[in-house]
Amino acid sequence: MPQMTFVEQDGTERTVDAPLGLSVLEIAHKHGIDLEGACEGSLACATCHVVVDPSWAPKLAAATDDEEDMLDLAFGLEKTSRLGCQIVMTDALDGLVVRLPRTA
């Protein structure tokens, strides 16, 4: 099974099983990682904002215009910011690393 690593706000790294077809948001919830996702993945908020490790960012599909619009609402936006609900785990993403941004 693929795995991915979440880097929490305090720098703690948590490597977890990442079932194929689940979004980063769903994987976080499955493992009790504090990633809100207020709209439950319907692309109506930015509370599942994550920062993708720069080495992984080019391996992701480009963000849609709708995702870019929602990201504009995220606090602490960075060059590799994405919404966790829009990154779906595939075999090619085995080892993905994302960081939870600092909150306001």
CATH code: domain of residue 54: 3.10.20.30
- 102 — pLDDT class (breaks 50, 70, 90): confident
Domain count, the chain: 1
Sheet of 81-83, strands arranged across: 13-17, 3-7, 96-99, 49-52, 81-83
CB-based burial label for 34 (10 Å; 0-12, 13-18, 19+)? exposed
For residue 89, the enclosing domain spans: 3-99
In a domain, 104, yes or no: no
The contacts of residue 92 (CB under 8 Å, 6+ apart) are 59
Summarised one tens digit per residue, pLDDT across range 17-67 is 999 999 999 999 999 999 999 999 999 999 999 999 999 999 999 999 999
- Residue in 78, 80, 72 with CA at minimum distance from that of residue 96: 80
pTM of the model: 0.95
In a domain, 77, yes or no: yes
Q: Do residues 3 and 95 make contact, with C-beta atoms less than 8 angstroms apart?
A: yes
Summarised one tens digit per residue, pLDDT across range 43-56 is 999 999 999 999 99
d(CA 20, CA 32): 18
